[in-house]
Amino acid sequence: MKGLYCKVGETAAEAKFVIQETNVPSALGSNQVKVQVKACALSPLDLKLHEDLKFQKDLVPVGREIVGIVLQVGPKVTFFQPDDEVVGILPLDTAMSGLCDTVIINENHLVQKPEKLRWVEVAGAIRDGLRAYTALHTLARMASGHTLLVLDGASPFGVLAIQLAHSHGVKVLASALSSEDHKFLEQLRPSVGVRESLVARVIGVWDAKVDLVDSCLEETGGLGVDIVIDSGVRLHEEEPEARCLLPYKHDIITLLGVGGHWVTTEQNLQLDPPDSRSLFLKAASLSFLNEEVWGASSARQGRYLHIMKDIVEKLSTGTLRPQLEDPVPLYDATVSMEMVQKNQVRKRLVIQL
């Protein structure tokens, strides 16, 4: 059986993706489930996180967001039975690639998939939905009437964050990194036939004439936004071209309102004393978004499963609607994952033929 793995080099840039033969254990643990994989999503691999947590291996499994059919269950499994359709995220320390024909996973990492949902739809949304919940509910304490700024709103994560916030009565502003993204966000609707846009204002940061801070302050009457979710932060004057449209940390602090929450995906963020002083004066908070923390403690398993079940339910009702590209077959997975890792594409979905 074949799976997709990352062959780790001395640096992240030297990492290579390879199709590798692998074996599935024949015996199941007490709470394990054997799943026939129907679809798998490819998201960027955080090799630094693997290294920090001492999970570093010569071959790192790729593709953790899976959906499929239960083939067999362990003797103490209570949530599932054979032929159930399930969706889940393989744990960070897994030894198996989600692109294998079958995987073995603990039942506490899976939830039921409604029959009417397409395989690729739920596989492509489960992780970004988890990130959106973590950012908006767990970290930012989102509430009706808040104003939210989603940076890079056209990303798969940004789209789900916008939809989730809108469903809770939050006013959403979003930045667009290109004219295509700008048009896409302006046409984003809560459902077919509804004229109202999900985004109250699209800020085209790709246009040099548009100022992110001024746009946000104008939209909020000078009060600033209640929640900001970034997609990275520009740390220096000279940055790679791929990061040139990211905001400076000072800009985010400036457009943040009193008592606001800044949720950042920037792992290397550093705050200078003046930045800390500005946050202090606003009684604002800064949180780091790392959705992997749900697997760090067994005490959080109930909350984790509740979130995933709610994501699947909102997908079923149409509240959450991921924007997905056409899936690719397994033989294109290597090239697709290289593009995802280099940020040439935002996400890829692989179907099992």
Whether residues 102 and 155 share a domain: the answer is no
Give me the residues paired with residue 227 across strands: 148, 261
Whether residues 111 and 7 share a domain: the answer is yes
- Local structure of residue 45 (DSSP, 8 states): -
Whether residues 10 and 63 share a domain: the answer is yes
pLDDT of residue 314: 96
Q: How many domains does the chain have?
A: 2
pLDDT string in tens for the chain (353-residue length): 888 999 887 555 677 899 888 887 778 899 999 999 999 999 999 888 888 888 767 789 999 999 999 999 999 999 999 999 999 999 998 889 999 999 999 999 999 999 999 999 999 999 999 999 999 999 999 999 999 999 999 999 999 999 999 999 999 999 999 999 999 999 998 876 677 889 999 999 999 899 999 999 999 999 999 999 999 998 776 666 667 789 999 999 999 999 999 999 999 899 999 999 999 999 999 999 999 988 877 778 889 999 999 999 999 999 999 988 889 988 899 999 999 998 888 899 999 75
Whether residues 282 and 305 share a domain: the answer is no
Whether residues 150 and 209 share a domain: the answer is yes
Amino acid at 226: D
29 in a domain, yes or no?
A: yes
pLDDT of residue 236: 73
**What tokens were used for 146?**
């808040």
Domain boundary among 243, 264, 288: 288
Which residues neighbour 100 within 8 Å (Cβ) at sequence distance 6 or greater? 1, 2, 3, 22, 24, 37
CB 119 within 8 A of CB 327: no
Whether residues 95 and 173 share a domain: the answer is no
* CATH classification of the domain holding 276: 3.90.180.10
Whether residues 302 and 283 share a domain: the answer is no
27 in a domain, yes or no?
A: yes
Domain boundary among 260, 288, 316: 288
Domain boundary among 288, 319, 344: 288
130 in a domain, yes or no?
A: no
pLDDT of residue 196: 83
pLDDT of residue 241: 62
Q: Could you give the 3-state DSSP secondary structure of residue 34?
A: strand
Whether residues 157 and 276 share a domain: the answer is yes
Nearest of 294, 137, 149 to residue 216 by alpha carbon: 149
139 in a domain, yes or no?
A: no
CA distance 255 to 127: 28
221 in a domain, yes or no?
A: yes
133 in a domain, yes or no?
A: no
CB 17 within 8 A of CB 334: yes
pTM of the model: 0.93
Domain coverage including residue 159: 144-288
What is the signed CA dihedral for 58, 300, 63, 50, rounded to 10 degrees? Answer: -20
137 in a domain, yes or no?
A: no
